[in-house]
């Protein structure tokens, strides 16, 4: 298995030299500066690749192995195969990436909002901070800040009453902060920042699009792009929904094993794969993570390894340390290692420690939410330790 590290580019708080110090060898990155929907050029990809892979004297080499992500325009999610121009632009980006020898592309198909949290610095018992999704605060935002039409029908009376209490206790600063977190697109997301009016307009645009229709649109997208990926030796990896359930009344279609099975049945191309994210899938108590890894082993080309802890009835959760929480990371890695051993050296699974607690010096620094250096370094070291114990020395 290959040790990856999410790097947000030359302006990121974590430098490439600092990445080298973590022991990671494979970079996971994207051209975040390119507007969503505009095709990446080969020149742009090669410039970023040169920055990553030109190794200073005496330093360890890094390889750009995974694109995370080429954002899928909203029009594709709403219109499927009818969004021909947007799909052609996406294929052009894929072709530029393939021309540079980068063989894995991660993407998601979450409508309007990407990965969603309500708090970025929830204080854990150790004093480190973590990201958290608080169902009550989310409901308060949905019902009383966004004031989404029809939202009250999706919450029980008890939920509505509790959300009202939570909202009434929130200060103006807290309301502004949760609004910023949810609507402004967290770093690494594949959605654009939105104002509250724009947010409402986006939701209205999905009227009439249920899970069946959204899945159909994803299948149409995959039917269009997988031939290009397969011809160029590129693996497409669909990231699970985060959290793996409906938000704002929007359908989500990559939340369970059955969701992935339906997509693999519909588009059986070997290029159609998954990004196996233990944190996203693990939030849903019914997801058996080792069983999912075993079932779709040949489809897994990229793995996000992190853990979450479900709170109360499971609708609230926070990011836990990598070997804590609700994810049996040892069992997960046993399955991934078994699959990895069946592969050739050029086709091994790239994994990265995903998210991480904000801790030690990072508590006093400007960090990318979810991606502080030290918390992810701790996670990577713990994952590397498990791999060594399993007799699988990571590269």
Q: What is the CATH number of the domain that holds 255?
A: 3.20.20.150
The boundaries of the domain holding residue 68 are 2-117+208-389
In sequence order, what are the residues at sequence separation of 6 or more whose Cβ sits closer than 8 angstroms to the Cβ of residue 110?
Answer: 191, 241, 242, 252, 254
394 lies in some domain: no
| Cα–Cα distance for residue pair 311/320, rounded to 1 Å | 11
In a domain, 274, yes or no: yes
| 339 and 213 assigned to the same domain | yes
pLDDT at 303: 98
The count of structural domains within the chain is 2
Question: Domain check: are 108 and 153 in the same one?
Answer: no
What local confidence, expressed as pLDDT, does residue 192 receive?
Answer: 79
Radius of gyration of the chain (CA): 20
* Residues 320 and 347 reside in one and the same domain: yes
| 236 vs 240: CA distance, rounded Å | 13
For residues 338 and 314, the answer to whether their CB atoms sit within 8 Å is no
Whether residue 66 contacts residue 73, with contact meaning beta carbons closer than 8 Å, is answered with no
Q: Do residues 188 and 280 both lie within one domain? A: no
Q: If 0-12 CB within 10 Å is exposed, 13-18 middle and 19+ buried, where does residue 311 land? A: middle
Same domain, 274 and 212: yes
pLDDT of residue 176: 95
Let me know: does 375 contact 361? Beta carbons within 8 Å.
no
Same domain, 177 and 227: no
Whether residue 326 sits in one domain with residue 196: no
Q: What is the mean pLDDT of each run of 10 residues along the chain (395 residues)?
A: 96 95 98 95 98 96 97 96 98 98 97 94 97 98 96 96 98 96 79 87 95 98 98 98 96 97 98 98 97 98 98 96 97 98 92 97 94 97 97 90
Residues 150 and 181 in one domain: yes
Is residue 105 assigned to a domain? Answer: yes
Does a structural domain hold residue 124? Answer: no
What is the pLDDT at residue 22?
Answer: 97
Indicate the residue among 148, 168, 200 that finishes a domain. 200
What is the structure's pLDDT at 45? 98
Task: Report the catalytic residues.
Answer: 239, 277, 304, 354-355, 371
């Amino acid at each position: 298995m290959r040790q990856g590290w999410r790097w947000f580019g030359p302006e990121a708080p974590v430098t490439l030299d600092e990445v080298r110090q973590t022991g990671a060898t494979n970079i996971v990155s994207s051209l975040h500066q390119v507007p969503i929907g505009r095709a990446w050029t080969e020149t742009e990809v090669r410039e970023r690749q040169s920055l990553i892979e030109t190794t200073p004297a005496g330093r360890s080499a890094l390889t750009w192995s995974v694109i995370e992500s080429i954002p899928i325009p909203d029009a594709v999610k709403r219109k499927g195969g009818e969004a021909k121009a947007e799909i052609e632009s996406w294929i052009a980006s894929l072709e530029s990436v393939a021309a540079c020898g980068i063989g894995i592309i991660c993407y998601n198909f979450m409508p309007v909002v990407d990965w969603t949290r309500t708090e970025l610095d929830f204080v854990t018992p150790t004093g480190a901070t973590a990201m958290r999704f608080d169902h009550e605060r989310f409901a308060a935002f949905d019902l009383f800040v966004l004031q989404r039409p029809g939202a009250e029908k999706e919450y029980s009376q008890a939920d509505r009453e509790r959300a009202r209490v939570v909202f009434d206790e929130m200060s103006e600063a807290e309301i502004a902060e949760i609004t910023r977190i949810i609507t402004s697109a967290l770093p690494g997301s594949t959605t654009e920042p939105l104002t509250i009016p724009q947010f409402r307009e986006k939701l209205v645009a999905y009227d009439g699009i249920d899970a069946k229709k959204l899945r159909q649109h994803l299948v149409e997208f995959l039917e269009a792009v997988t031939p290009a990926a397969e011809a160029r030796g590129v693996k497409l990896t669909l990231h699970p929904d985060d959290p793996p359930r409906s938000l704002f009344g929007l359908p989500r279609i990559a939340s369970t094993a059955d969701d992935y099975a339906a997509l693999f049945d519909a588009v059986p191309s070997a290029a159609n794969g998954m990004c196996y994210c233990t944190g996203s899938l693990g939030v849903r108590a019914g997801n058996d993570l080792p069983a999912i890894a075993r079932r779709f082993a040949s489809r897994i080309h990229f793995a996000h390894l992190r853990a979450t802890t479900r709170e109360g009835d499971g609708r609230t959760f926070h990011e836990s340390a990598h070997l804590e929480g609700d994810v049996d990371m040892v069992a997960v890695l046993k399955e991934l290692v078994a699959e990895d051993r069946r592969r050739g050296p050029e086709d091994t699974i790239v994994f990265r420690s995903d998210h991480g607690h904000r801790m030690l010096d990072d508590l006093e620094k400007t960090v990318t939410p979810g991606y502080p250096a030290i918390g992810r370094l701790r996670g990577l070291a713990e994952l590397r330790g498990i791999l060594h114990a399993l007799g699988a020395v990571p590269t």
